[in-house]
Amino acid sequence: MDKKQKEMQRHQEDAALNRGLIWVAGAIVLEVLLLLVNQYYFHFTTNPQSVAIAQALNSGMKFLRFAGIIAAVGALVWLYLDVKKLGKIRALPVAVAVGCAAVGVCSQIIVRFQGSGMRMLFVLVAGWAALALIYYLYQTEMFLAAVAGGLGIVGMWFARNGYTPVNFYTGATLIAIVLAAAAAFVLSKNQGALKVGGHKIVLLPQDAKYVLIYATCAINLAAVAAAMAAGMVVAYYLTYALLAWLFALLVYYTVKMM
């Protein structure tokens, strides 16, 4: 590799790191907002002003849990039309879609699960920042496997903290894992690319290995299904098993990069 190629590679790595740090900064902003909600929604005093703020937050989150998801769907439509017109993925519609979805999901979890949901969100947002760094700094196939693994762990939490292990949220987690597997299958049939409006959008390298993605999806599907069938105690121990699998993936892809 000559000097020019090394300089280009260094520039690409720096750009990837900067994009990853932007997503981390977004996660930090969301964490700060969660801290404010935690303070003024869960720890309000009997002061009339404090009560009024808590009531306003409650009404706002009940609205945002639906409005955020609707806005995210609208942003995805915008992204599709944008890709169809320009033939590339721009950061702005992606950021809007992710941001709106994050607001909607966080609001729903806080309204539904209250304090335990808030504690889970602090960890979940940190996981989101980690996924952003994985996407930009590791192989993109690792990102898809990590998403499936993260969904399985979230499914374990819903199985343990829902009214029953079988609930809407664990069911939604199963569907999301299936969609991740379907996305990997579609990409494998098109050499890691999607065709949108006649344009070819490359998401994974042509030599990407899909075995670990499929294995991760299968393991997490089986784990969530087992938790739904066997109950909260099984979900508790399976959470650690899925965390161990994620750690093994991280080690494997780290060694692969060397």
Q: Could you report the per-residue pLDDT of 178-225, keeping only the tens digit for each?
A: 999 999 998 888 888 888 777 788 888 887 888 999 999 999 999 999
CA pair distance 68, 75, nearest whole angstrom: 10
Answer for the pair 164, 227: CB distance below 8 angstroms, yes or no.
no
Cβ(127)–Cβ(135) below 8 Å:
no
Identity at 256, one-letter amino acid code: K
Burial classification of residue 210, based on how many CB atoms lie within 10 Å of its CB (0-12 exposed, 13-18 middle, 19 or more buried): middle
At 141, the pLDDT band (50, 70, 90 cuts) reads confident
Pairing status of strand 199-202 against strand 193-196: antiparallel
pLDDT confidence tier of residue 257, bands split at 50, 70 and 90: confident
Task: Please state the length of the chain.
Answer: 258
The rounded mean pLDDT for the chain is 87
- Grouping H, G, I as helix, E, B as strand and the rest as coil, residue 195 is strand
**pLDDT of 164:** 81
The residues pairing with 193 across neighbouring beta strands, listed in sequence order, are: 202
SS3 43: coil
pLDDT tens-place string over residues 39-65: 999 888 888 888 999 999 999 999 999
- Note the helical H segments in the chain: 3-37, 48-86, 91-137, 140-161, 168-189, 211-230, 232-257
* Whether residue 166 has pLDDT greater than 70: yes
Degrees, nearest 5: CA angle 250-251-257: 90
Which pLDDT score, from 0 to 100, does residue 48 have?
A: 86
The per-residue pLDDT for 70 is 96
Residue 2: band (very low, low, confident or very high) from pLDDT cuts 50, 70, 90: low
Backbone angles phi, psi at 208, to 5 degrees: -60, 145
Cβ atoms of 177 and 148 closer than 8 Å: yes
Which range has the worst mean pLDDT, 1-5, 113-117, 154-158? 1-5
Residues of the chain above pLDDT 70, percent: 96
Query: How many C-beta neighbours within 10 Å does residue 173 have?
Result: 25
pLDDT number for residue 242: 94
Task: Output b/e per residue, 5-15; b: 16+ Cβ within 10 A.
Answer: eeeeeeeeeee
* Mean pLDDT, range 5-9, rounded to an integer: 70
Q: Report pLDDT for 1.
A: 55
User: What pLDDT is attached to residue 5?
Assistant: 66
What's the CA gap between 156 and 160, in Å, rounded? 6
Beta bridge partners of 195: 200
